[in-house]
A and B are shown apart, each in its own frame.
Chain A
């Protein structure tokens, strides 16, 4: 692994979950070095937290799709009553 610390870019829930699965697989197979496994541990911690946040979000966000005068799409906040 390179020294460049890869700060996970904004990953979708699906991507995060997939990566977690990969990490679990690698660790279970025991085919990684101690150094790598510790990096995976840190990455796994961040990913788990991001997924947990998504799952424990309180409210569905509701928006409305509308077009402005120039025909560009806009999302307008529209919280359900």
Chain B
């Protein structure tokens, strides 16, 4: 019996089962009702998940308990995400819980209130964390479904109000178990990308379950950590999501988000026209003012003042001239009598008297010739006598 190869030990069987189950159910989403929820003193929590016909043990490690945004109670309808593990000493299989999402309306509302209180206590909703929106975004990031009404509505409004923008869509799932992680990733990706000025995160209307992704903690945290301002736009006016509380601005609907993110171009066109009108008016006015100024200047007293000044100076000069003439006449009279005296004395030296005695003055080209060596044959010379001049030509020079 011992050697029969078809016989397994309990350990062997359990080990095989463990391998099969753990590899076959490494990631499952499981819906059911919570019962026997117990928190152990170790911090771990244990419960049973059941439906009408079956049940499974569930274990929630302490590290996970702390991360949960929703702590189930007995009777709560939930969806658990986790993996199947086998506990060999007892021959039990169980689900190791990674996350729990509430399902029923009551549970969803409880979870909502729980997470809202938790994040509010951490300060995630505080107004000091709110970023202001850029007044004129060039590029708008959108996190939503590529096929949903939200994208369509947003584009319609942008097209009407300010079509000069660029819209960058990061398509995401917006409902279902994977939606929250996808939305959070998209927000982080836009931050890594960096080249959008503002983001709209949202989806169109739906049931509380449909909108649930926007009430999950991963989304709230991604919004909180975003360096790019975020407008939340989840569902209809009446729907408030956790994302709305964390976002920098809540829009009641996706269309409203588009209204909030850009200004209306018709108002801007008016502003621009006014600006241009003012610029045009002031500058053309300025130029025509300057022209008037120049014209006025040309005929003004100031411009003519130099001429006036010149006239006054001329008059002054005339006056000075007159008084100078008077004083000069007196001086001249004095000088003249003195000159007369000198004249008589100079007269004694007059060459005319010498000429009368028989001398003559020879000059060539108006220069007095005082030496025979200054003359050559054929030079034209002038000879001055006391009573007249003689022009002559030199025929011969004989220096002594």
**A binding-site residues for B, Cβ under 8 Å:** 12-14, 17, 20-21, 23-24, 27-28, 30, 34, 37-38, 40-41, 44-45, 48, 51-65, 67, 73, 75, 78, 80
Contacts and interface: CB of A to CB of B under 8 A. Distances in A.
A75 B168 contact: yes
B28 interface: no
Contact of B282 (A12, A27, A80): A27
B207 to A, nearest CB: 27
Interface string B88-132: 000000000000000000000000000000000000000000000
17 contacts: A13-B164, A14-B134, A14-B136, A23-B279, A27-B282, A34-B286, A41-B283, A45-B276, A52-B269, A55-B162, A55-B265, A60-B159, A60-B165, A61-B165, A63-B166, A63-B169, A80-B152
B328 interface: no
A37 B275 contact: no
Given A55-B268, A80-B155, A61 B283 contact: no
Contacts of B170: 64-65
A21 to B, nearest CB: 7
A63 B315 CA distance: 87
B290 interface: yes
B167 interface: yes
Contacts of B192: 73
Q: What's the dominant secondary structure at chain B's contact region?
A: helix
Nearest to A78: B169
Interface string B245-274: 000000000000000000001001101100
Contacts of A75: 168
Interface string B272-299: 1001101110110011001000000000
A55 B276 contact: no
A10 to B, nearest CB: 10
Query: Interface size for chain B: under 10, 10 to 19, 20 to 34, or 35 or more residues?
Result: 35 or more
A65 B283 contact: no
Nearest to A63: B168
A65 B169 contact: yes
A21 B275 contact: yes
Nearest to B189: A65
Contacts of A41: 279-280, 283
Interface string B160-195: 001111111111000000000000000001101100
Contact of B163 (A21, A38, A57, A67): A57
A20 B171 CA distance: 38
A27 B268 contact: no
Contacts of A63: 166-169
B74 interface: no
Given A24-B275, A59-B159, A64 B138 contact: no
A52 B270 CA distance: 10
Contacts of A14: 134-136
Given A64-B169, A65-B169, A59 B163 contact: yes
A44 to B, nearest CB: 4
B251 to A, nearest CB: 18
Given A37-B283, A56-B164, A62-B155, 13 more contacts: A14-B135, A14-B136, A17-B136, A17-B272, A28-B278, A34-B287, A55-B164, A60-B165, A62-B166, A62-B169, A64-B168, A65-B190, A80-B152
Nearest to B158: A60
A54 B136 CA distance: 11
B272 A55 contact: yes
Contacts of A28: 278, 282
A20 B275 contact: yes
Given A13-B164, A27-B279, A44-B275, A60 B190 contact: no
Contacts of B82: none
Contact of B283 (A13, A40, A64): A40
A81 to B, nearest CB: 10
Contacts of B204: none
B241 to A, nearest CB: 23
A54 B168 contact: no
A38 B283 contact: yes
Contacts of B134: 14
